[in-house]
Amino acid sequence: MKILLYGYGNPGRQDDGLGNAFIDRVEKWINEEGLEGFELDSNYQLNIEDSEAIADKDLAIFIDASVEDIEDFCISKVTESSKITYTTHAASPGYIVDLCKQIYGKAPATYLIHIKGSEWAFKEGLTDKAVENLEKALDYIKPLLINPQGLINETEKLKTCDL
């Protein structure tokens, strides 16, 4: 099984770096557990080229900081109709899935982990609350990554959000 974990955000804007920090921490865990089939990526933002990165995957999970009114973190299923937006500055996960389907005729099961952030100043380092939310998200997702078939088949009960 081929799985892409892709965190994005700006680590120079405090909690906006949650997606990138998720990738750093999950990479250590994947290596410690000796898990295979994972590809990890992080960037400041999603780009149209990311449609190619997901095209050959069975599962894609994007991770981003959230300003939404959520408790700590939540997960949403991404489809080609999920808030499709694209500007010269950023592409949404929904746009990437839609573009993948248009170009390659298929797309993997795709999810977005929203991790609650609270500070966005031009400063490196996550706030204590953001780190707490990040750890909760990691603890939640690790068992799902060990058995990802439940996500692909949508048989897992997720901590979902309707954003």
* 111-134 tens-digit pLDDT: 999 999 999 999 999 999 999 999
Residue 54 in domain = yes
- Region 39-55 average pLDDT: 96
| Domains in the chain, number | 1
Residue 85 in domain = yes
Q: Which residues 6+ apart lie within 8 Å of 23 measured at CB?
A: 5, 6, 7, 40, 41, 42, 63
Q: What is the pTM of this model?
A: 0.94
Which range scores top for mean pLDDT: 44-58, 71-85, 88-102?
44-58
Is residue 109 pLDDT above 60, yes or no?
yes
Q: Which residues 6+ apart lie within 8 Å of 49 measured at CB?
A: none
Residue type, 65: A
Q: What is the pLDDT of residue 163?
A: 67
Residue 117 in domain = yes
Residue 107: HSE in the Cβ half-sphere, 13 Å Cα cutoff: 23
Could you list the residue range(s) of the whole structural domain that residue 11 is in?
3-152
Residue 77 in domain = yes
Residue 160 in domain = no
- pLDDT tens digits along 8-17: 999 999 999 9
- Region 139-154 average pLDDT: 94
Q: What is the CA radius of gyration of the chain?
A: 15
CATH number at residue 35: 3.40.50.1450
DSSP string of 108-125, one letter each residue: -EEEEEEEE----SSBSS
Nearest to 22 by CA among 104, 126, 98: 126
pLDDT category at 162 given cuts 50, 70, 90 is: confident
Tokens of 75: 């997960």
